[in-house]
């Protein structure tokens, strides 16, 4: 077994080898920290789930040249902002804006993909304005 502290110091990375099949596995261990509840547009409250956020990133970044380490770092930055805000509840719109900021830094195409769904554009002009913003 090989153990290392992650680059940001917030996670422990462990590499293990299965005794039965010989395959190697990597796990990341993070401290169990409570996050604020996410308040959806319809008023429902749900628990924050890193997996859901990661799935959104993966969908937006599909077939884009962005590494897993970059995505993990972006997720860590979003979680740090949620923790330091010290709020019990956070609107989903705030979380969406945090995601958009990170995607804009990582990949402009992924940013436009996410924004096109997240902002629910009413017409082509709104979408065109977003693309023009990214071009500048």
Please report, in tens digits, the pLDDT of each residue of the chain (136 residues total). Answer: 677 776 566 678 888 888 999 899 888 887 767 788 899 989 999 999 899 999 999 999 989 999 888 999 999 999 989 988 878 899 998 998 999 899 999 988 888 888 877 776 677 777 677 777 777 7
The total number of structural domains that make up the chain: 2
Q: What is the DSSP string of 64-124?
A: SS--HHHHHHHHHHHHHHHHHHT-SEEEHHHHHHHHHHHHHHH-HHHHHHHHHHHTT-SSH
Q: Are residues 42 and 108 in the same domain?
A: yes
Q: Are residues 24 and 82 in the same domain?
A: no
Adjacent-strand bridge partners of 3:
14
Q: Are residues 81 and 103 in the same domain?
A: yes
Residue 14's H or E segment, with its range, is strand 12-17
**What is the reported pLDDT for 111?**
84
> What is the value of pTM for the model shown?
0.67
Q: Are residues 28 and 50 in the same domain?
A: no
Q: Are residues 81 and 109 in the same domain?
A: yes
**What is the reported pLDDT for 8?**
61
Residue 60, domain extent? 33-135
Helix pair 108-118, 50-60: axis angle to 10 deg: 120
Q: Are residues 49 and 95 in the same domain?
A: yes
């Amino acid at each position: 077994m090989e153990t290392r502290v992650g680059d940001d110091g917030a996670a422990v990375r462990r590499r293990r080898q299965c005794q039965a099949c010989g395959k190697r596995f990597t796990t990341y261990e993070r401290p169990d920290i409570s996050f604020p509840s996410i308040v959806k547009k319809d008023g429902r409250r749900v628990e924050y789930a890193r997996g859901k956020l990661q799935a959104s990133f993966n969908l937006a970044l599909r077939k884009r040249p962005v590494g897993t380490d970059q995505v993990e770092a972006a997720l860590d930055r979003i979680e740090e902002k949620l923790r330091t805000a010290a709020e019990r509840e956070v609107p989903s719109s705030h979380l969406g804006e945090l995601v958009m900021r990170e995607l804009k830094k990582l990949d402009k195409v992924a940013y436009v993909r996410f924004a096109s769904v997240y902002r629910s554009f009413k017409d082509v002009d709104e979408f065109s304005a977003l693309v023009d913003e990214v071009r500048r």
